[in-house]
């Protein structure tokens, strides 16, 4: 597999992961409001469109 093909596969995987997995973690307040969210000292992933996918910082 050449480098360009590998990059395309990784980009496709990343888009799918962001659109499905990350979206499943976000509460949908329109349908439910049970107050579940990050708590103090929880480890969270900070997603920023301006950063590369390998450089997403973690927050506490």
Our count of domains for the chain comes to 1
Task: Round to whole Å and give the CA distance between 6 and 8.
Answer: 5
Domain of residue 8, residue span: 1-31
6: in domain: yes
The model's pTM: 0.41
* pLDDT tens for each residue of 21-53: 877 777 666 655 556 778 889 888 888 888 887
Determine the pLDDT at residue 37. 76
Task: Round to whole Å and give the CA distance between 25 and 20.
Answer: 9
Task: Round to whole Å and give the CA distance between 60 and 57.
Answer: 10
60: in domain: no
59: in domain: no
């Amino acid at each position: 597999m050449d480098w360009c093909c590998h990059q395309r596969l990784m980009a496709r995987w990343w888009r799918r992961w962001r659109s499905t997995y990350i979206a499943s973690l976000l509460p949908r307040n329109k349908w439910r409001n049970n107050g579940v969210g990050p708590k103090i000292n929880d480890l969270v992933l900070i997603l920023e469109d301006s950063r590369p996918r390998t450089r997403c910082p973690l927050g506490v």
